[in-house]
Structure 1
């Protein structure tokens, strides 16, 4: 759910013929980091934690809003991956291979360790998504990132693992999308096509996959909402933001603030909007697309601040660990405030969960995520050196 970022203030280097074929009409841009991207990731993971936090009945609409924080992750991922590829495609000998290496070592080390941790902690017994218990094939499919295509494996081994499966499936199509999606019109067309295909898949294909689970309500309700076909239309919204960000002048500060306000207001209205024409993930993705583009000129300081940016940088670990943090808070801290005002109970539960998850994530980010990324970079450097040595021998 995380990409690298790049600067739209580019060195407009001239592309070679091969590079033009790979990316027609695309300028070369210089890679750099953006604080607003980290802030967006921070917002996304705070929404996800909110979705799983037990709230008082009067506040449960916040659970609904938080439930779509993953869609913000998806939009930001599509946006930043296009930035990253555009910054690198003219400088690398095998950009597609290197893209997959980077993505694997960005996701796999922390995800695999999370899988082992939750399997050890929770065991192999029945779960809502695995009514017959967890078996070897479900573990293997999770490690292969194809669990998202199986109703009783999609969210079984790692809590929230469905989104990792969707994200990894998306990666398969990113290089092709980068080559073909060169205009906002094409990105919109892709969005519409994927939305239609997703609804058709839910209508005609999902029932076939769900037939063996007629008595398992959790699977029947959630699988059609989580699997890749219904989520796929979310990602082109990130492509649209990328194209607007890199092909047009920066938003004036006034319009940046207006779009950001509209997006946040729409997010709070959205839980009361019923039967949208588009699938719900896409409905929320459009809102998040407005938020991303609104913040792309830097974003308001209340949102783009050092604390939220830090949460965004460790957000993948927070995503993986917040389920454990919730169980720890419920077991050890919640009894201390059971007598206080109910809304305050919700606030205390949420803030202590976030604090615990971020504290643990500071460790896993430095000890697992960063070393994993370093291995990926070292592998790429080795392949580049070998390619250079072979070229000299010719």
Structure 2
């Protein structure tokens, strides 16, 4: 049984998508100052924040006793698949018609099948070849597949910490193993090693560990606000650097500190209307903002000569966020919400059939 929606987490989804879009806005120009390059690089860690929020949200809504595995998978499938499948078909149609740069790089049968079965994350040839950013959706679906096992950690504080610690070591080991053992272009294999779901697993497990520790840490609410702003300052400093503190492991630790302190402090600004709305439609923004980026990239060389690289990237970023938010204001109710409604309808219909047969 799901226990409801946790509002402040939508603000963290908003922060995540704000960072991710900035990362891709840098595609418009490489002629940018070091500080902007560093901040955009750190923005890519927004995907880890998405994973962490996902793990936390699921762990707060389910426990090992109440989780009905079949219902869970149906809900997760219809939460992700409709918008993801629409995006796959959209980028093929747009690529063939008006925007060749948006056309998927691999339209083989293997790529089609792996995309629509969410197994594209298992091969360097397919992980990002169809839907832009598809690697993260493939990873998320693997996390869902494992969640019925991991949910048992939500009531075991120290065991959850142990699993997170082990997952960091396994993540690094898998990353190095992939680079050493899988043949191919060095840059492509390095990207695949980073995008692979086991490499990203610590962020998801950290979300579950946060859920395990929240009831215990609420007694320290008085210091939570100070901790939040301290960790926020460290996060900003990490964003402007390019050293060890901007690594994905350091980012995971910083993000977990932010979420823990924000959850216990209960800041009103974390429930602000704009932030929570952006967070609510963030999945649509993630999948649609690539389209806007490709539109701008077609004119990037001309625009760069007129306004310079820094202005182009910042301006392009603001345009992309605004346009993708506007598009997602349509796709979220039309595709995402209706997809979830279909999933819920199928579950209700299934329950009625079972009750009818039992009677």
Q: TM-score range by the shorter chain?
A: 0.7 to 0.9
The structure 1 residue matched to 2:325, chosen from 349, 353, 358, is 358
2:337 is aligned to 370
SS of equivalent to 1:156 = coil
Kept after mapping to 1: 8 A contact 2:33/2:310: no
1:37 is aligned to 9
- TM-score under structure 2 length normalisation: 0.88
Kept after mapping to 2: 8 A contact 1:187/1:239: yes
1:224 offset after TM fit, Å? 1.1
- TM-score under structure 1 length normalisation: 0.80
CA–CA separation in structure 2 for the residues paired with 1:47 and 1:334: 24
Q: Aligned-pair RMSD on alpha carbons?
A: 3.1
2:233 is aligned to 265
1:379 offset after TM fit, Å? 1.0
The answer to whether 1:182 aligns with 2:182 is: no
Deviations 1:190-248 (A, max 9, x none): 1122222222223334533x31x1xx343123111110121112212101211122444
SS of equivalent to 2:228 = helix
Higher helix share: 2
The answer to whether 1:140 aligns with 2:113 is: yes
Deviations 1:169-188 (A, max 9, x none): 01111011112452221111
Q: Pick closer, same or farther for the CA change 1:100–1:349 going to 2, 3 Å.
A: same
Structure 2 unmatched ranges of 5 or more? none
CA–CA separation in structure 1 for the residues paired with 2:174 and 2:195: 12
Q: Pick closer, same or farther for the CA change 1:335–1:302 going to 2, 3 Å.
A: farther
Kept after mapping to 2: 8 A contact 1:230/1:281: no
Q: Pick closer, same or farther for the CA change 1:30–1:328 going to 2, 3 Å.
A: closer
Kept after mapping to 1: 8 A contact 2:20/2:46: yes
CA–CA separation in structure 2 for the residues paired with 1:158 and 1:366: 21
Q: Pick closer, same or farther for the CA change 1:259–1:205 going to 2, 3 Å.
A: same
Count of aligned pairs between the two proteins:
352
Instruction: Select between 266-275 and 163-172 the one with higher mean Cα deviation.
Output: 266-275
1:340 offset after TM fit, Å? 4.5
2:349 is aligned to 382
2:210 is aligned to 241
Structure 1 unmatched ranges of 5 or more? 1-28
Kept after mapping to 2: 8 A contact 1:48/1:68: yes
CA–CA separation in structure 2 for the residues paired with 1:300 and 1:336: 41
Deviations 1:26-63 (A, max 9, x none): xxx98232321111111111111011112622311111
The answer to whether 1:66 aligns with 2:43 is: yes
CA–CA separation in structure 1 for the residues paired with 2:218 and 2:232: 23
2:282 is aligned to 315
1:18 is aligned to none
